[in-house]
A = this chain, B = another copy of it.
Amino acid sequence: MDAGSRLQNRTPRKRRKMQRVTMMDVAKLAQVSPSTVSLYLRKPAAVSPAAGQEIARAISTLGYVPNLVAGGLAAASSKVVSIIVPSIRNAFFAETVSTLQSELAAEGLQVILGHSEYGEDQEEALVRTALAWAPAAVVLTGLSHSPETRKLLRASGVPVVEMWEIGGEPIDMAVGFSHPQVGASAARHLLSKGRRRVAFLGARMQEDHRAAKRASGFAEEIGRTAGTASCAIINHPGAATVEAGSLLLNRAMQQVPNLDGIACSNDLVALGALFECQRQGIAVPDKIAVVGFGDLDFSASCIPSLTTIRPSGDLIGKEVARLILTGIDGGRPAGASRVIDTGHVLIERRST
């Protein structure tokens, strides 16, 4: 078949003609070109007030909603930030994501959420789909990722922020604090209260590397002063819950005779330990001092109120947002400012 006949029987195939209102419709009604409408939408100051008003009127008359998918394709970068956290059920990450979402939304960026359930393979899959959106940035939790994940992200050229942990080599940028130092702070605090027979109660530490690092920071600091013999690290394979706290306390008491202080990887665990002490009539802090981590909602109000370490998930969210936004505005921060230490604060209350 020759080109002629091929051309001949080419029929203009019709496509599901969306009756979506397009920018073209707005342009026609406002008597300007589509480019002007696009320009108005992106930088209103660049079009004349007269035209601007006309366009605004047309938009509201037609109920025009811009198609960000098309915009993203044309601009080769969508107004999307992909956030991957281990679990959104975790109050820490919920707080960070919440703050981050607010800050980014204020600049017209959407948040796409994924959770990895502490699995590196799952994280890798999430990163893969995340990149498929040509996102403005990708936010990951922690510094431990599969080599493939790092490769993918590096190759993509997309700004990457790793949050909730510093102290290693970030892929691109990092915002967080040092987990070993958190453990050490807890240890020093217990030591300062004269405790020498202590334990660290953690949950899911095979997968939650950050919790594991808090534990080893704790053990190291204790070892320096009191010797390792009197420091146990107890792990609960399941999630960090109040119930896990009860179980862990009992195991700790078995393992460390005359236990007089515990640090918990999470305030929920600490609360569980507190409840268990109450149930067994163990005086807190007289007999056992308790330090938590997270400064959750209830920590100031429980009985006794909980000494804990506040990591400021909120501040992390804000800093991540700042990093992303300055990154998008052009100059990506270089050098030292690529890693931000948000620190941690020990809040002393009645439980120690």
The answer, yes or no, to whether A345 is at the interface (CB within 8 Å) is no
Could you say which residues of chain B place their CB within 8 Å of the CB of A156? 65
CB of A150 to closest CB in B, whole Å: 13
Task: Give a binary string over A81-100; 1 marks a CB under 8 Å from any B CB, 0 the rest.
Answer: 00000011101001101100
In the complex, the answer to whether B301 meets A132 with C-beta atoms within 8 Å is no
In the complex, the answer to whether B105 meets A98 with C-beta atoms within 8 Å is no
Contacts from A to B (Cβ < 8 Å):
16, 18, 63, 65-70, 72-73, 76, 78, 80, 87-89, 91, 94-95, 97-98, 101-102, 105, 108, 110-115, 126, 128-129, 131-134, 152, 155-156, 241-243, 245-246, 268, 271-272, 275, 278-279, 297-298, 300-303
Copy number of this protein in the oligomer? 2
In the complex, the answer to whether B241 meets A297 with C-beta atoms within 8 Å is yes
In the complex, the answer to whether B88 meets A115 with C-beta atoms within 8 Å is no
* Residue of A129, A272, A275 with highest tally of chain B CB at under 10 A: A129
In the complex, the answer to whether A297 meets B268 with C-beta atoms within 8 Å is yes
In the complex, the answer to whether A73 meets B70 with C-beta atoms within 8 Å is yes
In the complex, the answer to whether B134 meets A69 with C-beta atoms within 8 Å is yes
In the complex, the answer to whether B110 meets A110 with C-beta atoms within 8 Å is no
Could you say which residues of chain B place their CB within 8 Å of the CB of A69? 69, 72-73, 78, 132-134
User: Provided the pairs A76-B18, A113-B111, A302-B242 are in contact, do residues A88 and B91 lie with their beta carbons within 8 angstroms?
Assistant: no
